[in-house]
Structure 1
Amino acid sequence: METELLNIESVSSEQKAAALRKAGEIIREGGLVAFPTETVYGLGADALNAEAAAKIYAAKGRPSDNPLIVHIHDISQVYEIAEEVPDEAKAVMEKFWPGPLTIILNKKSCVPDGTTGGLHTVAIRMPSHPIARDFIRESGRMIAAPSANTSGRPSPTLASHVYEDMQGRIPLILDGGAVGIGIESTIIDMSTGIPTILRPGYITKDMLEEVLPEVKIDPAVSGRTMKKDVVAKAPGMKYRHYAPKGQLTLVEGDKDKVIAKINELVREKKEEGYKVGVIGTDETLDAYHADILRSIGSRQKPESVAANLYRILREFDDLECDYMYSESFFEQGLGNAIMNRMLKAAGYHLITL
């Protein structure tokens, strides 16, 4: 299969419309299209077509019990696929949609088990990215879409990342340039009981509590070890995710001790003949000594850290880095989402000083 990469960002309105028509036709015929959202690039198929959803799992090499998120362009579509929509869910949708928030509700029978990983719930999101919204609208379908990478690899924040992973596996990639946020949407389960965050993201617990009387975080996503016996009610709960090819290790503690420990670990691996990299911050990068040095952003601007994370992990892959060491981040606000992704990328290799 030939994979076409279509620039849809800096083109004429006629070229954009033609690209969207082509993408919509592929979706209606049961095919796959990668497209940009404000979080990461998604790999889309007709959400109500079980055979199309199965193609997503095949292209990604994704475990079939890992549910997909259904992307919509209008709130009215929620009522087509959700069995019931509680008042709290309506309030959250009104506040945060369109945007980087996924809501889990009990599903109607029209949503195939192949889309929901065999669950009786469905994860729904209305993206804010204009290309994503136009694509969904043009397709005439609701779009099931995980991140457009092979399963386990760092999520794509550029169309070139998608092409690297999906070349020959899918017919079309819509290139909308670099995404803005850089980590996947927050997922909140509102299908039963107290609203529960199953995956942290840009929309934080504090932000949700401005609308909801109570919000909790599922212990399966807030721990420091891999949970192997978890029923994956949301993407990213059960498996190693976002991982580079080399081994990433996080080091947490007092800043000076962290810098000293990382430099010690780097020196050991270099003496063993390995290529070693360090992920630091704007504030600390000059203190490290390694083959490859990358700043993930500023601690004063956690949104910069989120935006750079997956790009940097992919750069280390391109440079064939064997071992990587990184500072950790405070698990507050957006930092909670950053550490969630980094721990999974590291396979929970964490040194606490």
Structure 2
Amino acid sequence: MKTRVWIVDNIVDKQQVYPQIREAAEWLRAGEVVAFPTETVYGLGADAANTAAVEKIFEAKGRPSDNPLIVHVASRAQAEAVATPLPPVAETLMERFWPGPLTLVLPKRAGAVSERVTAGLPTVAVRMPDHPLALALIEASGLALAAPSANRSGRPSPTTAAHVLADLNGRIAGVIDGGPTGIGVESTVLDCSGDVPVILRPGGVTKEMLSEVIGHVAEAAGGGDEQAAPKAPGMKYTHYAPKAPLWIVAGPPAFLQQLVDESRAEGKTVGVLTTEENKDRYAADVVLPCGTRRELTTVAHRLYDTLRRFDETNVDLIYSEAFPEEGLGAAIMNRLRKAAGGRVISG
């Protein structure tokens, strides 16, 4: 399969449907999969009601079949068409954070989406992306789109069309190239199907932001039951991993440098994931800064690209600095722990 690339300015005129968007929408209605930018990462979209189309997502990504998909919508009406009844707390959150990087896990409407989208669960994950091209594509297609991140399963998520093509060229019908994404880490996933909202995956909408609007918010413990179908993406399996093994180092730069020295003495080529503040403090084979600690939004924005840049080097292993777990730092550390397979060294 030849993967088409549609290059579109991400400043979309609401009064104009771009021919590239129309063509991509036609492919979606025909049951194909198309990658597109959102404000978080690039998604790999297919008609959420078409089981054969959804199967193509799993096939292209090599994704575990018990991992549910997020359904992307462009309107409140589309959300209500796939989820019912909407809990009052969900309505409050939609009003405050949609469109935006917040996914809500809701009771699903029977028959509205393929069982492959929900992994057979009685709930469905729904969000409205805050990106003009994503919204234009959903509106032009007339479909609610099941759309996980547009990468091979387990790899760092894509924040550019080039990342998508590096993983999926020849495996999908096309990709809409709207330039780099903004936030850089996936949406927050909040389970609203029970009595107390529970964060299943931290993201761009932080726990602190949610608590300001709806009060108490719980957090899911651990990564989910290994024997059960996860209720949201990113809970059960290793994700976001570069090719070289990654360790998170919870300690001062001097301790991380000690680990680097020990590994290099064993003949290993070592990479360090750090920040602009500390990049000159390490003597390693490859040192890549990933934003600044003063502004964690820059770390989130560059995280996946930095992990992919390590794949372009010959490092045998990577040591990463740890980050504070408040605010957006919770999402950054969640992704790093997944990328490291839970490997943390404290010192």
TM-score range, shorter chain: over 0.9
Moved over 4 A (4+): 10-16
SS of structure 1 residue aligned to 2:311: helix
Residue in structure 1 matched with residue 6 of structure 2 by the alignment: 6
Tell me, yes or no, if structure 1 residue 95 matches structure 2 residue 93.
no
Residue in structure 1 matched with residue 78 of structure 2 by the alignment: 77
How many angstroms apart in 1 are the aligned matches of 2:226 and 2:89? 31
The aligned length equals 345
Query: Cα offset for 1:229?
Result: 3.9
* Residues 75-116 of structure 1 deviation map (CA, whole Å, 9 limit, x = unaligned): 111111112101111000000000000000010122221111
Query: Cα offset for 1:72?
Result: 0.3
* Residues 309-342 of structure 1 deviation map (CA, whole Å, 9 limit, x = unaligned): 0000000012232211011011111101110000
TM-score (normalised: structure 2): 0.96
Q: Which amino acid aligns with 1:187?
A: V
Tell me, yes or no, if structure 1 residue 290 matches structure 2 residue 288.
no
Unmatched tracts of structure 2, length 5 or more? none
TM-score (normalised: structure 1): 0.94
Query: Cα offset for 1:42?
Result: 0.2
* Residues 9-35 of structure 1 deviation map (CA, whole Å, 9 limit, x = unaligned): 279979971110111001000000000
SS of structure 2 residue aligned to 1:193: coil
Written as runs of structure 1 = structure 2, the 5 A alignment for 1:225-304 is 228-253=226-251, 255=252, 259-304=253-298
How many angstroms apart in 2 are the aligned matches of 1:6 and 1:29? 17
Contact 1:43/1:56 (<8 A) preserved: yes
Residue in structure 2 matched with residue 344 of structure 1 by the alignment: 338
Residue in structure 1 matched with residue 29 of structure 2 by the alignment: 28
Tell me, yes or no, if structure 1 residue 319 matches structure 2 residue 313.
yes
Query: Cα offset for 1:264?
Result: 2.1
How many angstroms apart in 2 are the aligned matches of 1:100 and 1:154? 18
Distance 1:320 1:26, change over 3 A: farther
Q: Which amino acid aligns with 1:69?
A: I
Q: Which amino acid aligns with 2:297?
A: E
Written as runs of structure 1 = structure 2, the 5 A alignment for 1:146-165 is 146-165=148-167
Q: Which amino acid aligns with 2:269?
A: K
Unmatched tracts of structure 1, length 5 or more? none
SS of structure 2 residue aligned to 1:115: helix
How many angstroms apart in 2 are the aligned matches of 1:282 and 1:87? 43
Tell me, yes or no, if structure 1 residue 216 matches structure 2 residue 250.
no
* Residues 185-228 of structure 1 deviation map (CA, whole Å, 9 limit, x = unaligned): 0000001110000000010111111221321001134xxxx863
How many angstroms apart in 1 are the aligned matches of 2:227 and 2:262? 35
How large is the Cα RMSD of the aligned pairs? 1.7
Aligned-pair identity in percent equals: 50
